[in-house]
Amino acid sequence: MYRGDDAVGLATARHLKKHVPDYVSVLEGSGNGVAFMESWKNADTVILIDAVHSGTKPGTIHRFDASAHPLPSEFFRYSTHTFGVAEIIELARTLNQLPSHLIVYGIEGKRFEAGIGISPEVNTAVQEVVNRLRQDIHSFLKVS
């Protein structure tokens, strides 16, 4: 995970796997847009985590309901992925391939240089997002 803070989604997924029931799928993606859309093809609820760069304090946690509204593309403009998360989601929306519920957590990054690990502020936010995700998962299971 030497993609700087852009690896925050992978780090969060790896922590989350230890804290969710077996019937919840936690997938790690490399940013391939087609693979993202394929992975949520039959899912009712998807929660996606990525680094953002909006100018707020590093480690700030943003939560968006992407099934209801487009993501603010300026938050997701810096990425080591082929396509940014906002672009992938809007492509899926255009193709009518969004899951019923799509929540996106954006964690404000500090360092995006290749070859370094996650900054301390972002690493702290990972733990908070894992806690919030556990609550989200519990809420969505009650609704379903």
Structural contact between residues 33 and 88, judged by C-beta atoms closer than 8 angstroms: yes
- pLDDT tens digit sequence for 102-121: 999 999 999 887 777 899 99
pLDDT for res 1:
52
Strands (DSSP E) along 44-120, which ranges?
45-52, 61-65, 101-108
Q: Which of 41, 23, 54, 52 is closest to 129 using CA atoms?
A: 52
Q: What confidence score (pLDDT) does residue 62 get?
A: 96
Nearest to 11 by CA among 94, 142, 133: 133
pLDDT at position 136 over 60: yes
CA–CA distance, 91 with 83 (Å, rounded to integer): 10
* pLDDT value, residue 102: 94
Closest CA to 142 of 101, 97, 106, 98: 101
Domains of the chain: 8-143 (3.40.50.1450)
Higher pLDDT, 57 or 35: 57
Average pLDDT on 5-14 reads: 91
pLDDT for residue 117: 84
pTM above 0.95, yes or no: no
**Are residues 101 and 68 in contact, defined by beta-carbon separation less than 8 angstroms?**
no
